Amino acid sequence: MRKKIVAGNWKMNLDYAEGVSLFSEIVNMIRDEQKGTQVAVICAPYIHLNSLAKLGGTTVKIGAQNCHQNESGAFTGEISAKMIQSVGCEYVIIGHSERRQYFAESDALLLEKTNIALKNNLTPIFCIGETLDERNNGSYFDVIKSQLTHGVFALSAADFAKVVLAYEPVWAIGTGLTASSAQAQEVHAFIRNEIAVQYGAEVAENTSILYGGSCNPKNAAELFAQNDIDGGLIGGASLKSRDFADIVKTFNS
């Protein structure tokens, strides 16, 4: 059975004290609230990871927002998957649209990052999604198929089975424009079908596919009720403890 995941992405926000304070509030609000296959994750800036991994216990898992594609070496300013794993992180976001856009991360590079994350026992949350132009000109299925093909479909079935996907339409990220539940479900079903074609029905059935893009406590229930939506990647709302906790609790209502 696939996991139901709500993962927060704090992006480049919160100094050390603010991060510890927000995280502690979140842990207190959702302790004992999660059932069965449900997982809550906070993907924080690097400076927070060590402390949060200790504070999170079994209630909230910790993720990074990026990693370098190499194991170690002369890459000034970079952080490796091995380092991230060594402080107790279990997840890492790979290929967020902001990394693709502002840091020119290509599908080939993202495949390397996914491989090194898996080698270091991190679960990649691999992001895909179309821009507004691509949505409007009707090429979004092609765009998503291409991101999958060049990004993660080069993995073996055993490795792909460890990946979580996040469908994040770029036009919905941080804009307040959420994809409707029908729009999101249409793409999630398409993605699951592509996985089935590539790896077979069982792998497809067991892959968690999260929705991301202006998800909040008001729209989460309808989105998460869709057959192929297994939770969310949450940006802005993960910076408010009450909102994030309420989105996590959506699975219980």
Least distance in Å: CB of 9 to ligand PEP? 4
Active site residue 222: no
Write down the catalytic residue from 48, 105, 168, 188.
168
If the CB atoms of residues 168 and 228 are measured against ligand PEP, the closer one turns out to be: 168
DSSP 80: B
In contact, 2 and 36? CB cutoff 8 Å: no
Least distance in Å: CB of 139 to ligand PEP? 22
DSSP 233: E
If the CB atoms of residues 84 and 220 are measured against ligand PEP, the closer one turns out to be: 220
Residue nearest to ligand PEP (CB): 235
165 φ/ψ angles, rounded to the nearest 5 degrees: -100, 150
If the CB atoms of residues 11 and 82 are measured against ligand PEP, the closer one turns out to be: 11
In contact, 217 and 247? CB cutoff 8 Å: yes
Write down the catalytic residue from 96, 105, 134, 188.
96
The one-letter amino acid code at 130 reads E
Q: 72 is written with which tokens?
A: 């170690």
In contact, 2 and 230? CB cutoff 8 Å: yes
Measured CA to CA, the distance from residue 109 to residue 183 in angstroms comes to: 29
Least distance in Å: CB of 175 to ligand PEP? 7
Binding site for ligand PEP (CB under 6 A): 9, 168, 173-174, 212-215, 233-237
Least distance in Å: CB of 6 to ligand PEP? 11
Residue 229: closest CA among 183, 197, 194, 195: 183
Active site residue 96: yes
In this structure, is the dihedral angle defined by the CA atoms of residues 144, 150, 155 and 157, taken in order, positive or negative?
A: positive
Measured CA to CA, the distance from residue 90 to residue 49 in angstroms comes to: 10
If the CB atoms of residues 124 and 212 are measured against ligand PEP, the closer one turns out to be: 212
**Cβ contacts of residue 221 below 8 Å, gap of 6+?**
250, 253
If the CB atoms of residues 191 and 204 are measured against ligand PEP, the closer one turns out to be: 191
Least distance in Å: CB of 126 to ligand PEP? 12
For residue 6, give the H/E element and its range.
strand 4-9
Annotated catalytic residues are 96, 168
